[in-house]
Amino acid sequence: MLAQLSGAMFGLTAVILGAFGAHALKKKFTEDQHDSFETGVRYQFYHALALLAAGFAQTAGIIEPGAYTWLFISGTVLFSFSIYGLCLSAAFGTKWRFLGPVTPVGGLLLVAGWLSLLFAILR
C-alpha cells in the first residue's frame, strides 16, 4: 500500500509541477533551468509509475515488498526535489548550492531501488 500511495502522490505532484514549470515559470526560467526542471518531473513520473506497478505486483502476490519501495521514495525526493530547489532558487535570485550534491545521492538511491526490485523479481 505504501508503494501505491507514494506512486499516486508522486504522479499527482509531477503533473502539477510539470504544468507549473511549463506555464507559470516559463518566463522566469532560462532554457537550462527549464530543461533541468523537466528532468526532475520526468524522473519523478517514471518512479511514480514504478511504485504503482510494484505496489500492484505486491498486492497480487507476484513480488514481496522490499527495500525498493523506500529506495524509490527517498531517491525521488532527493533527486527530483533537489533539482526543483536548485532551479527555483536560481530563478528567484539565490541558488541553493547545498542542494547540488544531493541530486547524485538521489540518483544512486534510484539505481539501488531498481537493483533491489530486480532481486525481488528474481526471487
Task: Please provide the average confidence, as pLDDT, over all residues in the chain.
Answer: 96
Where b means 16+ CB within 10 Å and e means fewer, 105-118 reads: ebeebbebbeebbe
Ordered by start, the domain boundaries in the chain are 2-122
- Please check the confidence at residue 100 and state whether its pLDDT lies above 90: yes
Mean pLDDT on 17-23: 94
Q: In the structure, what pLDDT confidence band is assigned to residue 123 with cuts at 50, 70 and 90?
A: confident
| 59-78 mean pLDDT | 96
CA distances from 73 to 44, 51, 106 (A): 9, 8, 10
